[in-house]
């Protein structure tokens, strides 16, 4: 997609409730473009009373519309129509996504919007695939399970892939017959409003998909604690996930799905078939979206015999990246979402260097002269497990490097004491690859590749502090259903 003028992108600083935009009071949050630091909108904050209005509206829609009661194929038909509208709306949605986020227009148009539409289609096809079972019991009894929607599900999505992560939440929830109230990040709040508007245009009943704006402390907490929210699904940091889980426990208890932080290893053995190809996979896994990805491959663990050559190739590859505004089609290194995040990233790098890490390349903020925040792709060597850069999620384009001699050492370095979201293994030995895949404690292991593709059937989710439950796959659809057991005794004829 070609470049666009960010000043000509119109946004609606509003909530979306009952099928229409609701202003919801004065703007309380300034929303900035990360590319140039310009404040381009203000955002209202939904307090507990306003959240109650949105949830009650969704509850009424769930109870009074036929969304949960209609033939599942009818829901599927509407969801497919919604997906078609999303895909056809790329010239509106892609600039809307790119202007205030970290997503370059080329990626927003070529990946985010089509991926969002295809995810909705995938879950549309699950609408009539799971319904319950007949259980084995006495011959004169009938036992069965019935899969039913929860009711109203609350969702809180992050700023790094606003449309995509929203589709992961709303697609399976609506396909299963639920209603949803979704809170986008206050830093990237606008594209999901257009998504909700298109849902109503497609035929989703008004109120089945509502959007409330605000911050986590006020709006997010009120959403999690609302008595008519039956379940909460969240993607974001481990710290926030713990707070959400506590709020759900204190006000329910409520079911949760949490996709949280990661500190994912990329293990490279000396026998890889194509060193250049592997180096580009490793580089892409830490520089895509400037490393602002929960599954970013942020820890390179490379066999010692090829470590020097491999690092040299990585330095050359990341040097090819071009920092630029998200509205420019040739941008390959996107901005950091905010100045505060930039300071946090740089702080981790500098403290790790003070601890003894060697900055092989990068290690500085990039000045574009326009107020935007960019960070140089950074490689840190001479690190150990105690250093902050190895222990903590950085959420920036920072790669640590550790070397190993044998498979056992590689396994030990790959496992992280706290996180277990994803991992990559690069080797020509399939037996070794499968041993590492079995041995590494992570929810996803990629072999001779790294990163998500349009394989919606494969679930994603973490081990340890990286989360609970799954997005994507059949598992995400099933997680939006609750199971009721029904037992019938027909051993005696009913008396009039």
Write out the DSSP string of 398-464.
Answer: EEEEEEESSHHHHHHHH--SSEESEEEEE-S-HHHHHHHHHHS--SEEEES--S--S-TTS-B--EE
The reply to whether 294 belongs to the active site is yes
Name the nearest CA neighbour of 196 among 187, 188, 206, 362.
206
How many angstroms separate the CA atoms of 44 and 28, rounded?
Answer: 5
Torsion sign across C-alpha atoms 386, 387, 393, 397: negative
Instruction: Let me know: does 32 contact 38? Beta carbons within 8 Å.
Output: yes
Instruction: Let me know: does 142 contact 488? Beta carbons within 8 Å.
Output: yes
Distances, alpha carbon 473 to alpha carbons 81, 113, 458, 493, in Å: 21, 19, 5, 45
Calculated CA dihedral for residues 335, 337, 340, 341, nearest 10 degrees: -80
Instruction: Let me know: does 20 contact 359? Beta carbons within 8 Å.
Output: no
Helix, strand, coil content of the chain in percent (nearest 5) = 40, 25, 40
Query: 348: which residues sit within 8 A by CB, 6+ positions away?
Result: 388, 389, 392, 394, 398
Burial of residue 388 (CB within 10 Å: 0-12, 13-18, 19+) is: middle
How many angstroms separate the CA atoms of 85 and 147, rounded?
Answer: 29
How many angstroms separate the CA atoms of 444 and 461, rounded?
Answer: 7
**Quick check: bond before 253 cis, omega within 30?**
yes
Instruction: Determine phi and psi for 78, rounding to 5 degrees.
Output: -65, -40
Calculated CA dihedral for residues 278, 432, 429, 444, nearest 10 degrees: -40
Write the DSSP symbol of residue 336.
P
Write out the DSSP string of 342-378.
Answer: HHHHHHHHHHHHHTT-EEEE--SEEP-SSS--EE--E
Q: Which of 259, 334, 341, 393 is catalytic?
A: 259
Residues pairing with 380 in the sheet: 359, 400
The reply to whether 259 belongs to the active site is yes
| Strand, coil or helix: 65 | coil
Instruction: Let me know: does 339 contact 331? Beta carbons within 8 Å.
Output: no
| Strand, coil or helix: 60 | helix
Q: Which of 224, 248, 294, 334 is catalytic?
A: 294
CB crowding 66-83: b at 16 or more within 10 Å, else e: ebbeeebeebbbbbbbbb
Residues with catalytic function: 259, 294
């Amino acid at each position: 997609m070609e470049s666009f003028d960010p000043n000509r992108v119109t946004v609606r600083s509003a909530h979306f409730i009952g099928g229409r935009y609701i202003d919801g009071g004065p703007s309380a949050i300034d929303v900035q473009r990360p590319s140039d630091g310009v404040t381009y909108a203000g955002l209202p904050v939904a307090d507990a009373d306003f959240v109650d209005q949105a949830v009650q509206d969704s509850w009424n829609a769930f109870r009074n519309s036929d969304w949960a009661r209609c033939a599942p194929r009818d829901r599927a038909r509407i969801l497919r129509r919604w997906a078609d509208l999303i895909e056809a709306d790329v010239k509106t949605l892609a600039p809307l996504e790119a202007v205030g986020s970290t997503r370059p227009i080329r990626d927003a148009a070529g990946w985010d919007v089509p991926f969002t539409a295809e995810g909705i289609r995938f879950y549309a096809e699950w609408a009539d695939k799971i319904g319950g079972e007949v259980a084995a019991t006495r011959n004169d009894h009938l036992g069965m399970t019935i899969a039913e929607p929860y009711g109203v599900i609350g969702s809180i999505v992050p700023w790094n892939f606003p449309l995509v992560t929203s589709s992961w939440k709303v697609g399976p929830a609506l396909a299963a017959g639920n209603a949803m109230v979704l809170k986008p990040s206050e830093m990237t709040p606008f594209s999901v409003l257009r998504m909700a508007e298109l849902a109503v245009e497609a035929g989703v009943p008004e109120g089945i998909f509502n959007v409330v704006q605000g911050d986590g402390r006020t709006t997010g907490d009120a959403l999690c604690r609302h008595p008519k929210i039956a379940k909460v699904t969240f993607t974001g940091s481990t710290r926030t996930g713990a707070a959400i889980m506590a709020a759900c426990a204190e006000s329910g208890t409520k079911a949760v799905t949490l996709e949280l932080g990661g500190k994912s290893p990329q293990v490279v053995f000396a026998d890889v078939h194509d060193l250049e190809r592997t180096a580009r996979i490793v580089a892409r896994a830490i520089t895509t979206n400037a490393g602002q990805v929960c599954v970013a491959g942020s820890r390179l663990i490379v066999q010692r015999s090829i470590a020097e050559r491999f690092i040299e190739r990585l330095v050359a590859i990341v040097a090819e990246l071009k920092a630029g505004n998200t509205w420019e089609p040739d941008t390959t290194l996107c901005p950091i979402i905010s100045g505060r995040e930039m300071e946090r990233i740089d702080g981790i790098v500098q403290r790790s260097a003070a601890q003894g890490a060697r900055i092989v390349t990068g290690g500085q903020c990039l000045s574009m002269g326009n107020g935007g925040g960019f960070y140089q792709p950074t490689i840190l060597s001479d690190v150990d497990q105690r250093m902050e850069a190895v222990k903590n999620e950085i959420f920036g384009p920072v790669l640590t490097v550790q070397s190993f001699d044998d498979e056992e050492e590689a396994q030990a370095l790959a496992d992280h004491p706290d996180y277990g979201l994803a991992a990559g293994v690069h080797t020509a030995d399939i037996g070794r690859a499968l041993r590492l895949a079995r041995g590494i404690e992570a929810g996803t292991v990629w072999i001779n590749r790294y990163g998500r593709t349009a394989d919606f059937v494969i679930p994603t989710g973490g081990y340890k502090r990286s989360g609970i439950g799954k997005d994507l796959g059949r598992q995400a659809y099933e997680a939006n259903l609750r199971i009721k057991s029904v037992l019938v005794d027909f051993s005696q004829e009913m008396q009039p």
